[in-house]
């Protein structure tokens, strides 16, 4: 499955989340993305999480306990995973290369992709 398509479907799922969950999820994901840009390795990423406790700060931002924030993130990620799996099973790829390039010698593949609603 295309990484681009997975990202688009994930974004669709996140946009449909209840506002509070969507806000928390987007906040934490942006925070983690920013940290990832600052560090070079996964070990440095984990060290940063341990030393700076950014998730605790995120929990305070939303007036939650760290446990509550982490549970919401876990629930959202499970929901995204389940919906994404279902959506990916509904995606249909139809090879249209022969229709598009029947008279030419092009080697590029052309697909029609049917996406779930």
Distance CA 116, CA 87 (A): 6
Q: What are the phi and psi torsion angles at 87 (to 5°)?
A: -65, -40
- Taking only the tens place, the pLDDT of each residue in 62-117 is 999 999 999 999 999 999 999 999 999 998 989 988 887 766 667 788 888 888 87
Contacts of 17 (CB under 8 A, 6+ apart): 25, 76, 79
**Tell me: the pLDDT tens digits for 22-40?**
999 999 999 999 999 999 9
Q: Assess contact for 1 and 91: CB atoms under 8 A.
A: yes
Q: How far apart are CA 64 and CA 56, in angstroms?
A: 9
């Amino acid at each position: 499955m295309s990484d681009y398509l997975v990202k688009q479907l994930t974004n669709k799922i996140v946009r449909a989340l209840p506002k509070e969950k969507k806000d928390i999820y987007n906040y934490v994901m942006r925070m983690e993305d920013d940290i990832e840009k600052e560090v070079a390795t996964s070990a440095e990423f984990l060290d940063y999480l341990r030393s700076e406790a950014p998730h605790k700060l995120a929990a305070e931002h939303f007036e939650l306990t760290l446990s509550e924030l982490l549970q919401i993130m876990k629930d959202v990620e499970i929901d995204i995973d389940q919906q994404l799996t279902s959506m990916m099973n509904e995606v249909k790829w139809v090879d249209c290369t022969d229709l598009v390039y029947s008279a030419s010698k092009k080697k590029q593949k052309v697909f029609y992709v049917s996406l779930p609603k």
